[in-house]
């Protein structure tokens, strides 16, 4: 970001924010479906909503392989929706909720940026309407009930060494990654090795984001396999009989949250699962609620299109029975130059050769989108120091490739300004066209073949190599009757390979699956390709050190 430009928090606080009942009314939401949370947030009860069944078209915002700073998917999502609204379309945004842990650690916030933000950014970043706290509570209630069951006699014969479910906190807390619990003697529980994940990594978060209603939520919660018995049989939440209590703990949280962009576009911000060991999209209920209210719903999926878009198509869209109408692939000159081999600290330097060397990465993402029968549109997200020469070269390259593309300056000029007009026009044109969406693989394929299909078709790998434990797990999955589930790939977002340092569009590689995690409640099998961090740590100088409240009660230090 340019120095001298105000911070996201400063822009957000300077913005004119409208009372949320006005936003709800303008979005066509009947007042008795609106539950206010303060002045600028509301929960929408889908059961009380008078709107017709979901029919709005879905635009998925994804990205090329990103730099560590990210390429601005949320900013583009917000800005694109604002531009579509400006062009007269009835549009709604569906976005993930930010996690508190990273807010206190590195990032400061996750609600878009510049003039393309959802408001009130401070409240969304801090507790919001309490959804993640409810998910944390449900997750930890389950584990307290499980450990209590073991302590009280263990009628289910649970093997404390074979637990697959952990407690969670919405916190970056390195010291909780590996712990021993139940110490202190017979009155304090049964000792076992354990660990904590961050809340967004909880299977309950993934379930929350795939459930279609309360009944489906209860069913999925009941199907969670939290561990195995001494005779190696899966033990589920339904075996313990607490799916009702967990559903009760989530009954308010499951209603999507309505907020607004700086330009006044309605946004449902709801749920936020990890994009590696889960599918990385906002709640299905939010997406479907938005589709009841708007003609076009702009939403996003975590990481690049190899992960986020593939999972959106093969897991979320399949679960919801929805067919995306367009995929916006966010690209930046910086990221393309990095993919072309330029050093990370040099990316602001003009270098057309690096740009040219980087575009094969983008090309593979675009071709991948087409494999789902969906038309990709490149959103070139303009950063302050991008040169016009590079932007022009990239537009020309897209034209030569026969791909829709537009430069978007939704960060600096806003979608409420003219920063996303061209992009919005392209998107509107594609959305109005025919829809020939298809999944990449049928569920009837074996888990092994589903993984093989993804790594060959999407990543461009020669094949897949399963570790000995993974092969054993494949046999377990078959035996337990879980083969019909879709696959959720956990792979680095920085490369098409499972090696973060291999950039561009590599060929002649194999993907290594080291383990498989059946998430029988969420309804997918996670394939792990390398180490996945499910509990982040804090940096040497956490963002929390800058944070405070001023004398007027306003937040300080959320950037």
Name which of residues 99 to 128 contact its own copies (CB under 8 A). 100, 104, 123, 126-127
Compute φ and ψ for 385, nearest 5 degrees: -100, 10
Angstrom distance (rounded) from CA 529 to CA 329:
24
25 binds its own copies (CB under 8 A): no
| Closer of 446 and 554 to its own copies (Cβ) | 554
Per the annotation, the verdict on 397 as an active-site residue is no
Can you tell me whether residue 258 is helix, strand or coil?
strand
| Closer of 171 and 454 to its own copies (Cβ) | 171
Beta strands in 103-151 (DSSP E): 112-113, 116-119
Q: What's the token pair of residue 193?
A: 């090795």
Name which of residues 534 to 553 contact its own copies (CB under 8 A). 537-538, 540, 542, 544-549, 551, 553
Residues ≥6 apart with Cβ < 8 Å to 226? 142, 143, 146, 163, 164, 165, 235, 236, 237, 240
| Closer of 69 and 547 to its own copies (Cβ) | 547
Q: Which of 411, 496, 509, 524 is catalytic?
A: 411
Q: What is the DSSP string of 292-315?
A: HH-SEEEEEBSS-TTTHHHHIIII
| Closer of 244 and 463 to its own copies (Cβ) | 244
| Closer of 128 and 383 to its own copies (Cβ) | 128
Q: Which of 12, 206, 275, 335 is catalytic?
A: 275
Q: Which of 40, 132, 303, 509 is catalytic?
A: 303
b/e map 444-469, b = 16+ CB within 10 Å: ebebbebbbbbbeebbbbeebebeee
Which secondary-structure segment (H or E) carries 41?
Answer: none
Going by C-alpha positions, the residue among 76, 77, 94, 75 that lies closest to residue 27 is: 94
**Angle subtended by helix axes 388-401 and 352-371, to nearest 10:** 40
Name which of residues 241 to 260 contact its own copies (CB under 8 A). 241-242, 244-245, 247-249, 251-253
Instruction: Give the CA distances from residue 449 to residues 457, 498, 512, in Å, rounded to whole numbers and listed in that order.
Output: 12, 18, 14
Name which of residues 214 to 233 contact its own copies (CB under 8 A). 214-215, 218
Angle subtended at Cα 346 by Cα 344 and Cα 349, rounded to the nearest 5 degrees: 140
Name which of residues 146 to 205 contact its own copies (CB under 8 A). 147-148, 151-153, 167, 169-184, 188-190
Angstrom distance (rounded) from CA 149 to CA 140:
14
Task: Pick one of 12, 51, 94, 134: the residue that binds its own copies (CB under 8 A).
Answer: 134
CB 18, min distance to its own copies, A: 16
CB 137, min distance to its own copies, A: 6
137 binds its own copies (CB under 8 A): yes
Going by C-alpha positions, the residue among 405, 557, 407 that lies closest to residue 79 is: 407
CB 135, min distance to its own copies, A: 11
CB 206, min distance to its own copies, A: 20
Q: Which of 383, 482, 509, 524 is catalytic?
A: 383
| Closer of 122 and 390 to its own copies (Cβ) | 122
Q: Which of 96, 220, 223, 292 is catalytic?
A: 96
| Closer of 193 and 446 to its own copies (Cβ) | 193
Task: Look at phi and psi of residue 329 and say left if phi exceeds 0, alpha if psi is from -120 to 50, else beta.
Answer: beta
Q: Which of 107, 162, 177, 192 is catalytic?
A: 107
| Closer of 137 and 492 to its own copies (Cβ) | 137
**Angle subtended by helix axes 243-250 and 214-222, to nearest 10:** 140
Angstrom distance (rounded) from CA 557 to CA 402:
44
Name which of residues 258 to 297 contact its own copies (CB under 8 A). none
Name which of residues 29 to 68 contact its own copies (CB under 8 A). 35-39, 43, 47
Name which of residues 319 to 358 contact its own copies (CB under 8 A). none
- Candidates 50-58, 140-148, 422-430, 518-526; binding stretch for its own copies (CB under 8 A): 140-148
| Closer of 471 and 544 to its own copies (Cβ) | 544
CB 66, min distance to its own copies, A: 24
Angstrom distance (rounded) from CA 253 to CA 247:
10
Task: Pick one of 145, 156, 391, 532: the residue that binds its own copies (CB under 8 A).
Answer: 145
Per the annotation, the verdict on 43 as an active-site residue is no
Site residue total, its own copies (CB under 8 A): 77
Q: Which of 43, 73, 218, 223 is catalytic?
A: 73
| Closer of 37 and 437 to its own copies (Cβ) | 37
CB 489, min distance to its own copies, A: 25
CB 100, min distance to its own copies, A: 6
Can you tell me whether residue 540 is helix, strand or coil?
coil
Strand partners, 269: 95
Residues constituting the chain = 559
Q: What's the token pair of residue 233?
A: 């049989």
CB 425, min distance to its own copies, A: 39
Per the annotation, the verdict on 41 as an active-site residue is no
Q: What is the DSSP string of 410-476?
A: TTTT-TTTTTTHHHHHHHHHHHHS------SS-TTS-HHHHHHHHIIIII--SEEEE-HHHHHHHHH
Task: Pick one of 136, 288, 325, 492: the residue that binds its own copies (CB under 8 A).
Answer: 136
CB 231, min distance to its own copies, A: 23
Per the annotation, the verdict on 73 as an active-site residue is yes
| Closer of 192 and 363 to its own copies (Cβ) | 192
Strand partners, 404: 377
Per the annotation, the verdict on 411 as an active-site residue is yes
- Candidates 54-62, 132-140, 337-345, 464-472; binding stretch for its own copies (CB under 8 A): 132-140
CB 168, min distance to its own copies, A: 10
CB 201, min distance to its own copies, A: 16
H helical segments located in 294-374 = 308-311, 317-320, 333-339, 352-371
Q: Are 57 and 431 in contact (CB under 8 A)?
A: yes
Active-site residues: which are they? 73, 75, 96, 107, 275, 303, 383, 411
């Amino acid at each position: 970001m340019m120095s001298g430009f105000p911070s996201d928090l400063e822009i957000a606080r300077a913005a004119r924010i409208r009372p949320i009942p006005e936003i709800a009314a303008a979005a066509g939401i009947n007042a008795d479906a609106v539950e206010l949370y303060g002045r600028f947030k509301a929960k929408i009860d889908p059961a009380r909503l008078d709107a017709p069944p979901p029919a709005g078209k879905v635009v998925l915002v994804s990205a090329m392989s990103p730099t560590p700073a990210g390429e601005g998917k949320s900013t583009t999502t917000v800005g694109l929706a604002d531009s579509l609204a400006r062009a007269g379309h009835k549009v709604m945004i569906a976005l993930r909720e930010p996690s508190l842990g990273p807010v206190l650690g590195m990032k400061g916030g996750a609600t878009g940026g510049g003039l393309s933000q959802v408001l009130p950014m401070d409240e969304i970043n801090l507790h919001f309407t309490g959804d993640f706290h409810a998910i944390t509570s449900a997750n930890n209630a389950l584990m307290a009930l499980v450990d209590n069951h073991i302590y009280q006699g263990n009628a289910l014969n649970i093997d404390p060494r074979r637990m697959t479910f952990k407690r969670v906190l919405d916190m970056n807390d390195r010291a909780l990654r590996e712990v021993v619990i139940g110490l202190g003697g017979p009155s304090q529980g049964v000792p076992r090795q354990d660990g904590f994940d961050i809340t967004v990594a909880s299977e309950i978060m993934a379930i929350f984001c795939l459930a279609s209603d309360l009944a489906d939520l209860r069913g999925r919660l009941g199907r969670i396999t939290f561990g195995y018995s001494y005779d190696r049989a899966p033990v589920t939440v339904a075996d313990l009989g607490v799916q009702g209590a967990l559903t009760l703990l989530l009954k308010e949280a499951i209603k999507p949250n309505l907020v607004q962009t700086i330009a006044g576009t309605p946004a449902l911000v709801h749920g936020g699962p990890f994009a590696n060991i889960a599918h990385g999209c906002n709640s299905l209920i939010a997406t479907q609620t938005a589709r009841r209210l708007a003609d076009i719903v702009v939403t996003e999926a975590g990481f690049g299109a190899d992960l986020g878009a593939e999972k959106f198509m093969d897991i979320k869209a399949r679960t919801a029975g929805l067919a995306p109408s367009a995929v916006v692939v966010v690209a930046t000159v910086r990221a393309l130059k990095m993919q072309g081999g330029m050093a990370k600290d040099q990316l602001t330097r003009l270098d057309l050769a690096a740009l040219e060397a980087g575009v094969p990465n983008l090309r593979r993402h675009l071709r991948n989108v087409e494999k789902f029968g969906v038309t990709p549109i490149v959103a070139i997200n303009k950063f302050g120091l991008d040169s016009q020469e590079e932007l022009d070269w990239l537009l020309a390259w897209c034209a030569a490739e026969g791909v829709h593309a537009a430069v978007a300056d939704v960060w600096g000029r806003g979608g409420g300004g003219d920063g996303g007009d061209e992009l919005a026009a392209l998107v509107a044109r594609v959305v109005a066209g025919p829809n020939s969406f298809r999944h990449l693989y049928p569920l009837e394929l074996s888990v092994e073949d589903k993984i093989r299909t993804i790594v060959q078709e999407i990543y461009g790998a020669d094949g897949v190599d399963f570790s000995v434990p993974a092969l054993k797990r494949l046999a377990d999955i078959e035996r337990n009757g879980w083969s019909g589930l879709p696959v959720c790939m956990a792979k680095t977002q920085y490369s098409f390979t499972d090696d973060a340092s291999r950039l561009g569009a590599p060929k002649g590689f194999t993907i290594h699956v080291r383990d498989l995690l059946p998430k029988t409640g969420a309804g997918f099998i996670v394939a792990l390709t390398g180490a996945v961090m499910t509990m982040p740590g804090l940096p040497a100088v956490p963002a929390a050190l800058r944070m405070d409240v001023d004398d007027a009660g306003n937040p300080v230090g959320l950037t």
